[in-house]
Structure 1
Amino acid sequence: MKISDIVALGLWPESKKTTSLKGIAELEDLGYNLFYIGKNADLYTCPGEDAKVLLVRSDRCSVFDIPLNLEIEGKGVSQTAISNNGAKFAKQSGIRTAILDETIDQSLSIAPRCQLMELCKPLEAEIDGEVVQFELIFRNYLTGSLFEATKKGEDPYGLNLSSDLKEWSKFETPLFTPTTKGVKDIPLNSQKVREIFPEIISSLEKLFKEFTEFAQENGIIVVDTKLEVFVNSKGEWILGDEILTPESSRFISKEDFDAGNYISMDKQILRDFGKAQNWKEQAKELKPGQKLEVNVPQEIKDKILSGYTTILNRLSK
């Protein structure tokens, strides 16, 4: 399938620019053609007529939606394996995902970074007179932006939380805090979104609860997770490629959590370093297509990779 066929099916957003650059030779030689370069992964069209693409994860890094010149060797392979585990867990809970069971030739050196994906487009619906796409977020603990809002007496999701709640309070049942997906994520009323997608939200809530319990039994505390829903060519709702992964969730090792050390085992380590280095301010000078030149100590890289490795080891089923 060519990129023109994908566009014709309405499964590729006009806002995402494609590339005419050549991709990895061993893939191009087999008829997989690079057409999109993302911040952390690339997409290839596949030989044949099926509505699918090949996602190839790189070792590239980004934070705050800022592309960096930073690569962490081995990160892409770990991320792919964790993503496959998350998809497997979702499928065992009866939820379809964009990640196909089919794989490319496993003898290829690039194979551990690859996932064959069903072509799909973001789920959309009208909220308060505007058509929006969604990020569906579930939280087990009060922290981050929700804690800051609650402390100020604000109620961005219509949840009626007490402003007296302490940070890291655990909710008896997970909170659903949806936002729009875009340049800026805007909080949405939780109940309104539930009413639009009752079956989707209840299915994802059940998945989140089951995964939280499984992860805790295996030494990882799940603070929260973001799930993105798409629609395939048959009109069925499915989950994307980042399902219950460190790219979409905050994971803390149980031993750290019990000791009151709330550092996530994911790119939060890089975010914290970037915040201290003022990367957001530096990135304002970037031109389109440019990467921010950063200098990250090896110990930070090692800590990030160690977190991914621990997550993979503990959550592999």
Structure 2
Amino acid sequence: MPTTLSQSDLPGLDLMHRGKVRDVYDLKDGCLLMVASDRLSAFDVVLPKPIPGKGEMLCQISNFWFEKTAHILPNHLTGRAVETVLPEGVDPSLYALRSVITKKLKPLPVEAIARGYLIGSGWKDYQKTGAVSGITLPEGLRQAEQLPAPIFTPSSKAAVGDHDENISFDDVVALIGQDLAERVREATLALYSFARDFAAERGIILADTKFEFGLDEQGTLYVMDEMLTPDSSRYWPADGYQVGTSPPSFDKQFVRDYLETLDWNKTAPGPEVPDDVIERTRAKYAEALDRIAGIRLD
């Protein structure tokens, strides 16, 4: 049965970072312990109630994709067993499915986004300028329409509580250099294209996705953090897709839709979300994990 963990508690381990979802510990041996909690965030605010088992589902779908795409680009996983680093007295069942031991890499300061469909902030930018991240697109495209070819539309990494902003490829070059920028763009589009085709065979459209990359001491490029999860990607059921609308997705859209009905200014503290909205959201994550990876945690 899935476990519920709002916040990790690992006495004796060095907590480096507690993000909106993930807690990261430095193991002091060139590796990190990453724990995916069940914390729920929306509009960059962590909400009071968790989604039971969400961290396990996010971790398992990431691990699935890391394995599937290892032939395209190496990833940060070490394969070491999590229970070997847990402090004495900690219940390993709480962490077994939601944690991984990873290589300690130098993260790149960009969000690497691939878009195959015109939706979200890309659609908003296109409506204003006819372009996304400096890439001019054909006239007359509609919301959620498939692009002629996938595009690389990076964004800046914002501080916690702030929003990422779309930037151009030239901006990426200024941040990390021409050669590395081209490697990141190539890897992003290759990973997206592989996952898009794989998901399509399972009746799912991968509209867009965000990758994180890092370098080791030798300058080798790795994909890291999370990968192709419903939190970092827009997955649409193919049978519900219609151009000109915002299709339903396998993520926390139920939560966002509920929050939009409230008189809330989208700053902390966030409001409590009703149990039925939490359960419907949990079921969407579970459906994505099952349909894409064939994994059931219930």
Cα distance, 1:179 vs structure 2: 1.6
Match of 1:143 in 2: 119
Provide the rounded CA distance (Å) in 1 between the counterparts of 2:8 and 2:141. Answer: 51
Cα distance, 1:52 vs structure 2: 0.7
Provide the rounded CA distance (Å) in 1 between the counterparts of 2:250 and 2:209. Answer: 13
Counterpart code for 1:39: K
Match of 2:186 in 1: 202
More deviation, 217-226/157-166: 157-166
Dislocated runs of 4+, deviation >6 Å: none
Cα–Cα, structure 1 residues 223 and 278, in superposed 2: closer, same or farther, change >3 Å? farther
Match of 2:107 in 1: 122
Structural mapping, 1:73-222, within 5 Å: 73-91=52-70, 93-105=71-83, 108-110=92-94, 111-123=96-108, 133-182=109-158, 183-190=162-169, 193=172, 195-196=178-179, 197-222=181-206
Match of 1:271 in 2: 256
Task: Give secondary structure in 2 for the equivalent of 1:265.
Answer: coil
Aligned residues: 272
Provide the rounded CA distance (Å) in 1 between the counterparts of 2:188 and 2:291. Answer: 22
Cα distance, 1:137 vs structure 2: 0.9
Provide the rounded CA distance (Å) in 2 between the counterparts of 1:33 and 1:208. Answer: 34
Provide the rounded CA distance (Å) in 2 between the counterparts of 1:45 and 1:159. Answer: 39
Provide the rounded CA distance (Å) in 1 between the counterparts of 2:16 and 2:136. Answer: 46
Structure 1 gaps, min length 5: 1-21, 124-132, 287-291
Match of 1:7 in 2: none
Counterpart code for 2:69: A
1:130-166 deviation line (CA, Å, top 9, x unaligned): xxx2111111111222222222335352222234211
Q: Contact 1:157–1:188 (CA<8 Å) still a contact in 2?
A: yes
Structure 2 gaps, min length 5: 1-6, 85-90
Match of 1:69 in 2: 48
Compare relative contact order (CA 8 Å, sep 6+) and give the higher one, 1 or 2.
Answer: 2
Q: Contact 2:203–2:239 (CA<8 Å) still a contact in 1?
A: yes
Counterpart code for 1:50: D
Match of 1:44 in 2: 25
Match of 1:59 in 2: 38
1:59-99 deviation line (CA, Å, top 9, x unaligned): 111112212212111111111111111211221x3311122
TM-score by length of 2: 0.82
Aligned sequence identity (%): 29
1:101-155 deviation line (CA, Å, top 9, x unaligned): 22223992121111112112222xxxxxxxxx21111111112222222223353
TM-score by length of 1: 0.77
Match of 2:4 in 1: none
Match of 1:239 in 2: 223
Provide the rounded CA distance (Å) in 2 between the counterparts of 1:267 and 1:231. Answer: 31
| Structure ID, larger Rg | 1
Cα distance, 1:216 vs structure 2: 0.9
Q: Contact 1:39–1:62 (CA<8 Å) still a contact in 2?
A: yes
Provide the rounded CA distance (Å) in 2 between the counterparts of 1:274 and 1:240. Answer: 31
Provide the rounded CA distance (Å) in 2 between the counterparts of 1:253 and 1:191. Answer: 34
Match of 2:210 in 1: 226
RMSD: 2.6
